[in-house]
Amino acid sequence: MTTRITAGAFLVCGNKVLLMKRGLHKKLAPGLWASVGGHLDLCDIKDPRALDFAETCLREVYEETGIEKSEIHRLKLRYITALKKIEEISLIYHYFGEVADELPLQKCDEGEFHWIEKKDILDLPMSAVVKEVLRHWLTTPDSDNIFFVIVNLLENSIFISKM
């Protein structure tokens, strides 16, 4: 059994959310819509006492989009998902933040970035995890709670609980 740990951000500008349409060449979720983010590097998990998922998330956002840490406001952890597959458990830390303007975005070999109207988000093809996180967030956008989401693909079940 392997473990994958990732951190991602959904950046909000007015009624739009920044999403990435993952490249078709990607091994994980090709062609599906997702947050901006990525895997924790070995240096991120070397010392668990110093682990800061928000910093990892901000670094990934900058590497992929060119958006600076100083341009992101009110970044907060909203969801932690645990996804059980046959041979892997994935932990995903989902952050939501705000930007003042639809900032210009650099090219990224991970996929293409788009500012998507909130009302259109759930119509896009995305993983069950991303869809459930966004569905829940759209109904509770101003909550200060952190929610734990358990997705068991083997049993086709999803559970959301406030931490």
pLDDT at 20 over 90: yes
Q: pTM higher than 0.95 for the full model?
A: no
State pLDDT tens for residues 98-110. 999 887 787 888 8
Cα–Cα distance measured from residue 44 to residue 56, given in angstroms and rounded to the nearest whole number? 7
In the chain, how many domains are there?
1
Residue matched to tokens 């900032």? 103
pLDDT tens per residue, range 39-85: 776 555 555 444 567 888 898 899 999 999 999 999 999 999 888 77
Contact of 93 with 66, CB cutoff 8 Å: no
What pLDDT score was predicted for residue 82?
87
| Helix extents (H) in the chain | 42-45, 53-65, 128-139
Structural domain that includes position 106: 2-162
Q: How many CB atoms are closer than 10 A to CB 17?
A: 21
Q: What is the mean pLDDT of residues 80-95?
A: 85
Q: What is the CATH number of the domain that holds 32?
A: 3.90.79.10
